[in-house]
Amino acid sequence: MEPSIFDIQADFCKAMGNAGRLHILHSLREHPRTVNEISHETKIPQSSVSRHLACLRRVGVVISERRAGERVYRITDKKIVEVCDLVRSVLTEQINNRLRFIS
């Protein structure tokens, strides 16, 4: 039986439900990077970056290609970055609304 769009969306949301992976995606938003570059920028250990990238690759969020003997990772679709930005915008509004309510 083929997975439904809801199954696929759930897998995508699980992959996106990790702060380290979101940090990695933020690092990749401007241009492709190697694991070393991502690790240096995010301060996440290389082994963890590699595991996170494997998870993101499984759900189709990033792809890699070989360049000069290294794997370079990039986001597959700019809309993924837009979705992340939209979610952060909604969350920022919610936080600001809560703070106004408390004050």
Residue 62 lies in domain: 5-76
As to burial, measured by CB atoms within 10 angstroms (0-12 exposed, 13-18 middle, 19+ buried), residue 24 is: buried
9 confidence band (pLDDT: 50, 70, 90) = very high
Q: Let me know if residue 92 belongs to a domain.
A: no
pLDDT at 103: 66
* Residues 81-90: tens digit of each pLDDT: 999 999 999 9
Q: How far apart are CA 59 and CA 32, in angstroms?
A: 18
pLDDT at 62: 98
pLDDT at 49: 98
* Residues 22-69: tens digit of each pLDDT: 999 999 999 999 999 999 999 999 999 999 999 999 999 999 999 989
User: Does 79 have pLDDT greater than 70?
Assistant: yes
3 confidence band (pLDDT: 50, 70, 90) = confident
Q: How far apart are CA 27 and CA 37, in angstroms?
A: 9
Q: Let me know if residue 86 belongs to a domain.
A: no
Domain count, the chain: 1
Q: What is the CATH number of the domain that holds 27?
A: 1.10.10.10
Give SS3 for 74.
Answer: strand
Q: Let me know if residue 103 belongs to a domain.
A: no
